[in-house]
Amino acid sequence: MDLLQYLDKHPIGGAFLLWVIFFLIIVTSGIVRFIQNAPPLLQISIAYSLLSMLAIVLLVRFNWWKKVGFSTLGKRYDLQLYVVPLVVAFLSLPEGIKVSEFSTITIFALFTFLVGFTEETFFRGFILTTLRPIGAIGSVLISALLFGLPHLLNAIGGLWDPLFTLVDTGAVIGIGVTFAALYIRTGTIWPLIGIHAFIDFTALITQGGLAVPAQPWEALILTALVGIILLAYGLYLIRPSQTNRKKFAMS
């Protein structure tokens, strides 16, 4: 039984297998970074470069471009659905931009696009699509949980404050629910890649880098609130449309 057959016959097991592959590459690159004392941005860039190349290989090997939403940009009337996650991308900007060098901004832009492309292809493309036989709500929730869990690794090595990492992981799960629901509603992955990259980009330029120190309670509460709102919004997006649910399950 090849990988494609396994994914078709075992949606939950197949989704978990894809997640394990993603997770192991991230963890392995982190171990290498600690051994070689490499800069975090370089380590993560290498890991995501490997993952993106793997994603492209799978897209080409199984001809999944259309199946996972790369063949369409979506419909104009769906644009309003993206307003809520776009607002989230702007929430960090009032803190002020700490990066002014053009070279650094360019590196952050390229880095966040790489992360957006890789994570959306794996979690909304491969994993969510693999889970489609179990239904829209189940596939959305499981894919969002799998999306959020690797973010706990941010606390390892002192790069992120542990408490903020926990709160942020909950918010990321909420983002995962909204993104998965948007994917089901629109059938395209491109806007999600762009919004994902923009959210990460605005966070980087306001933080000045990857490190996140301990945050005030106001920031923790706001982050948790964003996660709750996005969780509710994502579930709302797929609630009223039984047609989309059936179509998703049969596609």
| pLDDT single digits (tens) 70-81 | 999 999 899 999
Q: How far is CA 176 from CA 149, 218, 249, in A?
A: 11, 23, 19
Judge whether 42 and 161 are in contact, CB under 8 Å: no
Q: How far apart are CA 162 and CA 176, in angstroms?
A: 21
Q: How far apart are CA 239 and CA 181, in angstroms?
A: 9
Does the structure show a pLDDT above 90 at 241?
no
pLDDT band at 243 (very low <50, low <70, confident <90, very high): very low
Q: How far apart are CA 188 and CA 137, in angstroms?
A: 18
Give the chain's domain count.
Answer: 1
Nearest to 128 by CA among 167, 46, 166, 185: 185
Determine the pLDDT at residue 240: 62
What residues pair up with 160 in beta bridges, in sequence order? 212
Q: How far apart are CA 200 and CA 91, in angstroms?
A: 12
Helix 162-186, helix 190-207: angle, nearest 10: 160
Does the structure show a pLDDT above 90 at 233?
yes
Mean pLDDT, all residues of the chain: 91
Determine the pLDDT at residue 251: 54
Instruction: Tell me how crowded residue 190 is: count the other CB atoms within 10 A of its CB.
Output: 16
- pTM recorded for the entire structure: 0.93
Query: What is the CA 131 to chain-centroid distance, rounded?
Result: 16
Determine the pLDDT at residue 111: 97
Q: How far apart are CA 81 and CA 174, in angstroms?
A: 16
pLDDT band at 94 (very low <50, low <70, confident <90, very high): confident
Q: What percent of the chain is modeled with pLDDT above 70?
A: 94
**Which sign does the torsion angle of CA 60, 82, 168, 148 carry?**
negative
Joined tokens for residue 44:
């993560």
Please give the residue range of the domain that contains residue 52. Answer: 3-250
Judge whether 244 and 184 are in contact, CB under 8 Å: yes
What residues pair up with 212 in beta bridges, in sequence order? 160
Fill in the amino acid letter for 177. Answer: V
Fill in the amino acid letter for 132. Answer: R
